[in-house]
Amino acid sequence: MKTIRSFIAVPLPEMVVKACRECIGSMPGPGSAVKWVRPESIHITLKFLGEIPEAQVQSIAGATRQAVHNYSPFQLRTHRPGAFPGWNHPRVFWIGLQGEGVELLKQLQRSVESAMELLGFPRGKRAFSPHLTLGRVKQAEQCTRAARALREYPFPSLPIEVNAVKIIKSELRQGGAVYTDLETLLLSGQ
């Protein structure tokens, strides 16, 4: 049985990807203690599924379609940079999300989480915290420059129209993960 690594996510508009690219490009360069994410692969993860049987994609798509069909498109905005668990001992660098749509995004994520639980996927252990991951810290004791640069970076407030959810295949390769869209499920509000 062939398996694939996959997740469910909200895609980003090109202007947000471009802003992430500019931000990452301004960070301390090669030899950095941070593994920066390829900007074109940044998204809002709603549910990481892990390794799944390829044959299960259609049932996941059907359950996700049911989970999102009552939602109408809504809007978020990018916010300032942050770090998990905090700036003093960062493990992940991110861009925050804000606006009235954040509460709708949390509801959407809970709907997807519940639908996946009915298919046998365990609930996530951490509370959903909407963000865009920019990088993962490789050497905490050496990431001070990157943390300072990101903390001071004037990331613009840009709109994100949430009008679709995607099921994405993730292939881990030497140069980083390569993503392929398997299904696009539109938010129709019906």
**pLDDT of 176 strictly over 80:** no
Give me the residues paired with residue 53 across strands: 3
Is 69 noted as a catalytic residue in this protein?
no
C-alpha span between 92 and 165 (Å, rounded): 24
C-alpha dist (Å) from residue 77 to 23, 45, 59, 97, 154: 16, 16, 32, 6, 14
Q: Is 136 helix (H, G, I), strand (E, B) or coil?
A: strand
Q: Would you list the domain boundaries of the chain?
A: 3-186
Is 131 noted as a catalytic residue in this protein?
yes
Choice among 43, 69, 79, 89 that is catalytic: 43
User: pLDDT tens digits, residue range 33-75?
Assistant: 888 999 999 999 999 999 999 999 999 999 999 999 999 999 9
Tokens 């951490």: give the residue: 126
Q: Do the beta carbons of residue 165 and residue 112 sit within 8 Å?
A: yes
Tokens 């499920």: give the residue: 185
C-alpha span between 77 and 100 (Å, rounded): 9
Choice among 69, 79, 89, 131 that is catalytic: 131
**Half-sphere CA count of 15, side-chain side, radius 13 A:** 9
Residue 127 CB contacts under 8 Å (≥ 6 apart), including other chains: none
**pLDDT of 140 strictly over 80:** no
**pLDDT of 27 strictly over 70:** yes
The domain over range 3-186 is classified in CATH as 3.90.1140.10: yes
Single-letter amino acid code for the residue at 69: H
